[in-house]
Amino acid sequence: MNIALLLQMAAEACPDRTAITFEGEHYDYQTLFDAASRAAQTFSESGCRFVSALDTSSPAAPIALMGAAMAGLPYVPLNYRLTDDQLSALIERIEPAFLITGAGDCQFDVQTHMSREAFLRAAMADGPSIETWHEDPSAVAVQLFTSGTTGTPKAALLRHEHLVSYILGSVEFMGAMPEEATLVSVPPYHIAGISAVMSSIYACRRQVQLANFDAETWVRLCKDEGVTNAFVVPTMLTRIIDVLDEQNDPQAAFPQLAAIAYGGGKMPVPVIERALKLLPDVNFTNAYGLTETSSTITLLDPNDHREAISDTHLRQRLGSVGKALPSIELEIRDEDGQAVSAGTPGEIYVRGPQVSGEYDGRSVLDSEGWFPTRDAGYLDEGGYLFLSGRADDVIVRGGENISPGEIEDLLLDRDDVVDAAAVGMASEEWGEAVALALVMKTPVTEAAIQDFIRSSLRSSRVPEAIRFVDELPYNETGKLLRRVVREWF
Amino acid sequence: MLKPGSRLKSAVCDAEVMVIKAGADDEVTCGGAVMATDVSEKSAGDDAQMHGCLIGKRYVNQGDSIELLCVKSGDGSLYCNGEELMTKDTKKLPSSD
């Protein structure tokens, strides 16, 4: 079992179909498969033990991913937004490495370095291809360094069996029509970027790669390339909607766009409501997943979105991340590790063949294979999952657990609030108390905010400190950096 | 011995399958001939078992104790321990990435 099988099948079934469109160039499935087979030979001969990439999206990403898989080497895409010092520390952990960089030169000490341009040129030219693949299902296919929002980056390991299980369980082979195209704008070092490559390949859907997201280019590419599907993180959707708002007929901007999936961070309900109203013909899907679960584990599907927007009783489901995939078991557990019933908050646990839950060779699965996500949430009566933040983000005030999401959601419903983050701050009296960072459209007094929260929620939720700021700190995929907000108090 | 993840080739046609689930002693045939990880030479298939198998389809038995993914189409039909395997319908999910 090897993720490269997904590409081999696509090349077998539709060799002439376009696999990748990048900056106006097209690469068909046979070309992509042949290039990966040559890259695999190069990787094997290098004697390196990891294949790594420090680059934005380009055809080199799927070629290196699949080539590394054929060669039996872990693929380690790196976050190009990190500092050189941070990158050096990560690269040290994967030596001897074969490093592909977007830039021509390389300031890192690695066994083998190739620029993207040289790598692509070699992979596309005639040359020896790898003859036999590694077929060990438990070999590591992808190693991703977690974003480190809480500390030193951990290396999450995804084995071939996890990734293949995810794809086989969620994508229909050749399920895409020849005219379908998906716009990939998430960075290639993110699990959503990896799964986008594999899902599109197995569906035999054309991928249009956008290296650096900006909303205007995204909208233009959708139209020019006849894009039918796209995945975006919440901050991207917010910016896209802002661009569409300025147009008379937003739907006309996307003649072919049929579906938008979103995930990777918490989607503010007002944003998705606006999106549904602006683009009534587009199918929206919310996907929730983690690196350690090989991407998506729950889905709020297009039908759920339509029901929620048209029925006020179901409206709150727009704030849900939906139901578990058929191949995923999901339960909420309390602090003692006991499963709790619908409506009761706790920590989300999942189990299934796509769940790795492994860092640097150390598994955090319990004895029965359950993965503690460290995300907090609850299920409603219908089995819909609602997230309330990271379990580590819960504010414990005098023994009472307070979910930041509860306070933030209340504030985000106000027209004058642009953004809100509630975090814990040290308190002599309570151990921890609520602190609040707010981005306002129009100025408001601290007392007015405190009164508002007191009248809507319990008094324990009233912040002891409020700070008004111009914007909140997010990482590039739209994850709020609570660590930074905490430092403000 | 069949193991999940193993790739088996047909002895009568181009078909290849990947084992998703199987018992260790299950015997998988294609066009009447045993499938194996290595096939040195092709033989003629049993005409009664030549209805074909299709790439991307999953094949299961009645008891759901075996599951194969066809990774290369062929002319032979897939059997396990003498029972013809059927394609399994998978639930279609909206694209999430």
ipTM of the complex: 0.94
Residue B14 touches chain A, beta carbons under 8 Å: no
Q: Do B56 and A172 touch (CB under 8 A)?
A: yes
Task: With respect to residue A72, please indicate whether it lies within any of the assigned structural domains.
Answer: yes
Q: Residues 20 to 79 of B: which have CB under 8 A from any A CB?
A: 20, 55-58, 69, 71-72
Task: Calculate the alpha carbon distances from A19 to A10, A22, A203, A228, A484 in Å.
Answer: 9, 10, 10, 14, 40
Q: Do B56 and A295 touch (CB under 8 A)?
A: no
Q: What is the per-residue pLDDT for A336? A: 85
Q: From the candidates B9, B17, B97, which should be mutated to test the interface with A, based on the most A CB atoms within 10 A?
A: B97
Q: Which of A290, A319, A348 is the last residue in one of the domains?
A: A319
What strands lie across the sheet with B78-80, from one edge to the other? B33-34, B28-30, B78-80, B83-84
Domain membership of residue A439 as a residue range: 394-487
Ranges of beta strands (E only) in A23-105 are 25-28, 50-54, 75-77, 97-101
Domain containing A104 — which CATH number? 3.40.50.12780
**Cα gap A27→A10, rounded to integer Å:** 13
Domain containing A457 — which CATH number? 3.30.300.30
**Cα gap A204→A61, rounded to integer Å:** 17
Residue of A nearest to B92 (CA): A172
Looking at CA atoms only, how far is residue B56 from chain A in angstroms? Answer: 5
Higher-scoring residue by pLDDT: A449, A252:
A449
Q: Which of A273, A302, A319 is the last residue in one of the domains?
A: A319
Q: What is the per-residue pLDDT for A151? A: 61
Q: How many CB atoms lie within 10 A of CB A38?
A: 22
Looking at CA atoms only, how far is residue B83 from chain A in angstroms? Answer: 24
**Per-residue burial over A108-118, b = 16 or more CB atoms within 10 Å of its CB, e = otherwise:** bebebbbbbee
Instruction: Indicate if A173 and A288 belong to the same structural domain.
Output: yes
On whether the CB atoms of residues A325 and A296 are closer than 8 A, the answer is yes
**Per DSSP, what are the bridge partners of residue B16?**
B9, B72
Q: Do A5 and B18 touch (CB under 8 A)?
A: yes
Query: What is the count of structural domains for chain A?
Result: 2
Given pLDDT bands bounded at 50, 70 and 90, which one contains residue A409?
Answer: confident
On whether the CB atoms of residues A186 and A194 are closer than 8 A, the answer is no
Chains A and B form CB pairs within 8 A to the count of: 79
Residue B91 touches chain A, beta carbons under 8 Å: yes
**Cα gap A289→A348, rounded to integer Å:** 11
On whether the CB atoms of residues A20 and A59 are closer than 8 A, the answer is yes
* Span A86-135, pLDDT tens digits: 899 999 999 999 999 998 888 899 999 999 999 999 999 999 999 999 88
On whether the CB atoms of residues A233 and A289 are closer than 8 A, the answer is no
**Cα gap B56→A295, rounded to integer Å:** 22
Looking at CA atoms only, how far is residue A305 from chain B in angstroms? Answer: 12
* Span A371-392, pLDDT tens digits: 999 899 999 999 999 998 777 7
| C-alpha dihedral, B15 to B20 to B25 to B28, nearest 10° | -20
Residue A295 touches chain B, beta carbons under 8 Å: yes
Q: Do A259 and B94 touch (CB under 8 A)?
A: yes
Instruction: Indicate if A199 and A85 belong to the same structural domain.
Output: yes
Instruction: Indicate if A310 and A418 belong to the same structural domain.
Output: no
pLDDT above 90 covers what percent of chain A? 77
Instruction: Indicate if A412 and A290 belong to the same structural domain.
Output: no
Task: With respect to residue A363, please indicate whether it lies within any of the assigned structural domains.
Answer: no
Residue B93 touches chain A, beta carbons under 8 Å: yes
* Span A131-174, pLDDT tens digits: 999 889 999 999 999 865 556 788 999 999 999 999 999 999 99
Instruction: Indicate if A303 and A411 belong to the same structural domain.
Output: no
Residue A489 has pLDDT above 80, yes or no: yes
